[in-house]
Structure 1
C-alpha cells in the first residue's frame, strides 16, 4: 500500500499526479521562476507515475497523458536550460562512451552452486544443518527463502542519500563494467528512492527483457533487417553493454531487485537495526526475508513469487510449482534459488572462493528435443529482410508443442548444413524462440538452397553479409503491409483497427499501395469490403483523420527509420522542435 509519506509526489500538493492538466501555457510566456517551479512539480509527478506503472503495475494516468507531462518537462528544461542531474528526462539516454570502465563492487557478487536433481538439494540442506550444528546453532532453526532464478544479467546498483549514483555488471564477481548511464535509462530503476533509505545502499538486481517485449522487439529487428537476439538473456546482456545509452533507452529492459549488498548509515541517522517502522524509517533488515519489505518501502521493484519455508521438502515443492507456472511468467527463469534466511546463520556457514555455502540453485531441466525438418518457409520483413523458418514434425519441448523453429539467416543454414529431411535438435532458448542449434542426423543430400528471388514478389534477392534482402521495396506486398502495420503501431501513430488481416485486405483490394493512400480512404471504400460495416469503416476513418497532423515524435517513430524508435523520436522532437529543422 502506498502512503502519502512514502510517495514521490503528494496529489494534494502536486497537480500533475491525479487527473493532471495538460493544456499548458506556451513555454515562452513563463518566467524563469515559474518554469523552474513547474519543472520541479513535473519531475516529482513523473517519478510517482514511473513507480506506479513500472513497480506497482497500477498506473494513475493514461500513457498519452504521461507522454504530455514528460514532453512538457523536456521542453522546460531545454528552453530555460534547467539542471537535469536528477531529472527523469535523463532516461532518454546520454552521451556515448568509448569504452566501459571497470569498477569494484561494494561486496562480492558470487556464483551459486547448482544442480537439476532433488537429491542434490537435500544434500545441500544436510550440509547447512551440519555446518550450523558445528557452529553451535540449532539446525532445526534454519529457514530458507525461495526465489525465482532469473535468466538475465546481474547488476549492482548503488544509492547515496537516496540518489542513484552507480551501476555495474557482475563481471568476475569482484569487479564489473560501469553501466551507470545505461541502467539509468531503465524505467523501473528509480533515480531517487522513496521513504527513508540509509546513507548508502547497494543492491543486487537482475536486468532482463520481458518475454512479450522480447518477442515484439525481435520482430522489429527482423523488420529492420537486423539479426534478432537468440533469447531474452542475450538481449538484456547485449543491450546493457551498449556504449550509447540512447540505444539502451530504446530497448524494453526491466529489473527485479533481490539482495542487499551494502547498507551504511544506520549509526549516523540514529536508526536501530530492524525491519523498519510504519513511516519508512529503517535500519538494516534483520533477515533476507525482511530485505524485500525494505525494497517495497524504497520503491525498488522485486518479485512477489517468493516464499519462506522451514524445511527442504517445502523448498523442493516451491521449485516444482514454479516450474509448472513458468509458461505463464513474463520473464525467463531457469530454476529457483534457495538461500538461508538468517544473516547469523549465513556468517557461520561462510563461503568458498567461488560460492556461498548458504545458497543453492535448483535448476529446471533443459528444453531440447529432436525432430525432422519437413520444409523451409522464407518470411519477408518490413525492410525486406528474408528470414528462413524450419517447418518441423511437431515435437514436445519442455511441455510445449513446437512445429516451427527459426534458422535465422542463409549463413546459419550454410553453417548447419541443414536441409529438408534432416533430423535436428530443437532448443527453446530463453523460454521463447525455438531454434536449431545442430543437425543430429543427416538424411538429405546437400544444404537447403536459399531462394535467389523473393518468395512473395519475385524480386531479386541481395546478400549483405550473413543476411538476405528482397530488393522490391514497397512494391513487395509483404514489405508494404509491414510498413503500414508499423505506421499504425501503438508507439507510433496508434491507429486502432489496422491489424495485419485488415492491412492485407486493403492491399489486396488495391486501396492501399503506399502510406499516403491510407488518407485517401473513404467510408464507402471500406464499407463494401467483406467483414466491414458502416460503423467499423467510420471508426477507421476517424482514427486516420486524428493522425493527419501528428506530433513530431509519433511521425518520426512511424516512418520506421533505422535506430529511431519511440524514445529516440521523442528526444529528436524535443531537440529540433519541428520537421523543417530536421530536414
Structure 2
C-alpha cells in the first residue's frame, strides 16, 4: 500500500484540531476522507508491516477526531476505521454457506508420507498428460481459527468461520474489529473476492491478555488457539474489539474470474490488496526443498510470535492444481507436514474421574508439574477406561506426556511402572450411581440427580445456549447448590426473594432481579427448552430442527429413535442418545417437575397450511430477513425447510453470496432454483404474508 500523497495526517499529524462546531459539512467531509485514508495507512503500517510511522498517542488523536466528526455530521460508514470498536451484542451467530468449500488438508508427521504425497502428485499429473514444471509453494501452518472473508467491490461484505467446511458461523461484526483485516482493499482487487485466512492471538498478546484476566479474577485461556476461537465467536463485538487478534490470509477461494498462473502469484496479489501475509513462505523446486523448509520452520518455531504446528506444501502451478482436483474432504495438490508433538516425562501422583454435564465419566491424571513446549502441565486426560487399560497406567508411574496438536496434554506411554494399573470405579464418585459402559466410554447413570451433572445442567439451562437467564452464571449456580437451596433443576422455580436475599453477598435488589429473570423463563420456545435440557449431541440448531419437526413437547417426548432420525440434521447416534435420554426415568421426572413448576414450552406456531407439502432449501444471504427467519416463515405456513438439497426438495432459494454445494446438488437433482424476488412472488401467489 503506497503512502497517501499530500495527506496532513500521515507524517507529523497535528495534535489538536479546531472545534467541530466551527466546521461546515463540506469541510467536515473532506477532513473525514483524509482521516480515514490516513488511519487505514497507519493500520497497514502497524498491523501488516509492524513498522508504524506515528506514535500510538498520535494515532489515538486522529481516531478520536474522526469519531467526533462522524458523530457530529452523521458521516458514518461501514468501512470507516471507527467501525473497529464493535457494536451492539448479537442474540446468536447465524449460519452461512461458504461461497466455495473450505476443505481440510491431509497431513502427517512422517517424512515418508510427505514423499508419498509427492509421488502421487507426479504420477497423477503424468497420467493426465501434464508436462509443466512441478514446484511447491511452502508456508507455515497456522494454529488458529480458519475464516472466509468475502469482499464486494473491494469492501468487506461477510466473514464466516470454517465450520464443517461448507457452512460456518457468520462472524462479520467481530472480524470488522480485527485491525489486520482490511475493510477496504487496495490496488486492483476483483469485484468479487473470497479469501481464506487464519485468525490468531499472538503469543505476547496472549500472555498479556491472560495476565489481565487473572488480575481481574477471570479464568485464563488455556492457549492462544482457544483464545482466538472464543474471542471470534463472542456475541458482543465490543469484547472482540478489546482482544488482540490478528489474521493472516493465504488462499483465494473465489477470485471472481481473476486467474493466476501460480499460487505464488496469488500470494503476491493477496499481499498487494492489503491483507496480512506471512513473509516466511517461499517456492521450492522439489519435495527435498519442501522437507528442508519444514525443518527450518521447526527451528524457527519458538522465535515466532504466533503458533504454528507444521508447514503446508502446495503445488505451485494452478493448472496443475486443477488437473489434480480434490477428494470430498481435501485437495490432492496440498499436504500438511506436521511438527512432532512436544513430549516430556513426569510422574502420575493421582488419577481422578470427572463427571461431565452429560454424565460422561473421564479419567484425569494429576502430574508432577512439567513444562511441555513452554507450557506447564499438571494434569492430562486419559480419555476413557479402555485407554487406561491399554496403557497400563497407574498412580506412581513415570509417563511420557504429549500435547495433542500442541494443545491438549495426554499420556502417551508408561515409561516405568509396576503394571498394576488403575482400577476404574464401578460407581460414580459424586453420587454413587452405577457407571455404565457404552463401548470405550463410561457414563454415570444418575442423570441430573447427580450433583456433578446438576451443577453443569443448571449452568447450561441458564446459559445463552439454554434459556438465557441473566444473573444465573457459574458462580451463582455454584453458590445456590453449595448452600443447598437448589438440589434439583426444578428447584430454581421455587426460589423466593427472601431466600435469595439471605445468601452471602446478596441484597434485596439482586434477589428481585434474579427472581424476575427466572420467572421470565417460564414460557420458552420449544427449541429453547430442548436446547436448555442439554440433550446429548443437540445444540441450538439441532434443537430448532427437532422442534420444527415435531411441533410440541409431547410429540418430542413420544418420538421413537426412528422418528427422531427422520429429522433433517439428526443422525443415528444423536437419535439414539436423545431417545435414551427421554427414556431415562430420572430425566423424565426432572422434565415432569419442571412442567409442574410452571414451565410451559411453547409449541411451534403455525399460521396456515398454504405451503403444505412444499420443501425449501436456502443458500446465501437474504435481504430483509435471515435464513432462519425465512425457514420459520415457511414452516409456520405448513411447509418444510431443510438444510441440504435432496430428491425431496422442491425449491432452492438462492440469496447473495451463495455457496456452490447446494447449487450443484440442485442441478444434479433437477431442483428448481428461485432468487429472492421469485421466492417472495411464490409466497404471495399462495397467500403467505411476510
Partner-residue secondary structure (3-state), 1:228: coil
Aligned to 1:337: 312
Report the RMSD for the aligned CA atoms in angstroms: 3.3
Write the distance in 2 (CA, Å) between the matches of 1:124 and 1:439. Answer: 30
Residue 208 of structure 1: which of 184, 200, 207 is its match? 200
Partner-residue secondary structure (3-state), 1:165: strand
Say if 1:79 and 1:426 are closer, same or farther in 2 by CA, change over 3 A.
farther
Partner-residue secondary structure (3-state), 1:186: coil
Residue 341 of structure 2: which of 362, 366, 388 is its match? 366
* 8 A contact 2:261–2:319 mirrored in 1: no
Task: After TM superposition, list the pairs within 5 Å mapping 1:170-569 onto structure 2.
Answer: 170-264=162-256, 283-372=258-347, 392=368, 397-398=372-373, 404-405=376-377, 426=401
Aligned to 1:167: 159
Write the distance in 1 (CA, Å) between the matches of 2:21 and 2:187. Answer: 36
* 8 A contact 1:285–1:294 mirrored in 2: no
**Deviation of 1:438 (Å):** 10
Where structure 1 has 5 or more consecutive residues not aligned to the other structure, the ranges are 266-282, 376-389, 409-418, 448-461, 468-583
Are positions 1:73 and 2:48 aligned together?
A: no
**Deviation of 1:227 (Å):** 1.9
**Deviation of 1:292 (Å):** 1.4
Q: Moved runs in structure 1, 4+ residues, more than 4 A?
A: 390-395, 419-431, 433-443, 462-467
* 8 A contact 1:113–1:359 mirrored in 2: yes
* 8 A contact 1:236–1:253 mirrored in 2: yes
Say if 1:391 and 1:213 are closer, same or farther in 2 by CA, change over 3 A.
farther
Aligned to 1:18: 11
Listed one character per residue, the Cα deviations across residues 423-478 of structure 1 (whole Å, up to 9, x for unaligned) are: 576555876x99788997899xxx9xxxxxxxxxxxxxx987789xxxxxxxxxxx
From the CA coordinates, give the structure whose radius of gyration is larger.
2
Are positions 1:39 and 2:32 aligned together?
A: yes
TM-score (norm 1): 0.63
Say if 1:119 and 1:422 are closer, same or farther in 2 by CA, change over 3 A.
closer
Write the distance in 2 (CA, Å) between the matches of 1:423 and 1:241. Answer: 39
Question: Which has the bigger relative contact order, CA under 8 A and spacing at least 6?
Answer: 1
Listed one character per residue, the Cα deviations across residues 83-129 of structure 1 (whole Å, up to 9, x for unaligned) are: 22221100100222211112121211101111110000010000000
Aligned to 1:117: 110
**Deviation of 1:158 (Å):** 1.1
* 8 A contact 2:368–2:378 mirrored in 1: no
Write the distance in 2 (CA, Å) between the matches of 1:394 and 1:192. Answer: 46
* 8 A contact 2:341–2:404 mirrored in 1: no
Listed one character per residue, the Cα deviations across residues 513-567 of structure 1 (whole Å, up to 9, x for unaligned) are: xxxxxxxxxxxxxxxxxxxxxxxxxxxxxxxxxxxxxxxxxxxxxxxxxxxxxxx
**Deviation of 1:343 (Å):** 1.2
Say if 1:420 and 1:187 are closer, same or farther in 2 by CA, change over 3 A.
farther
Residue 144 of structure 1: which of 136, 142, 146 is its match? 136
The worse-fitting range, judged by mean Cα deviation, of 31-40 and 16-25 is 31-40
**Count of residue pairs brought into register by the alignment:** 401
TM-score (norm 2): 0.54
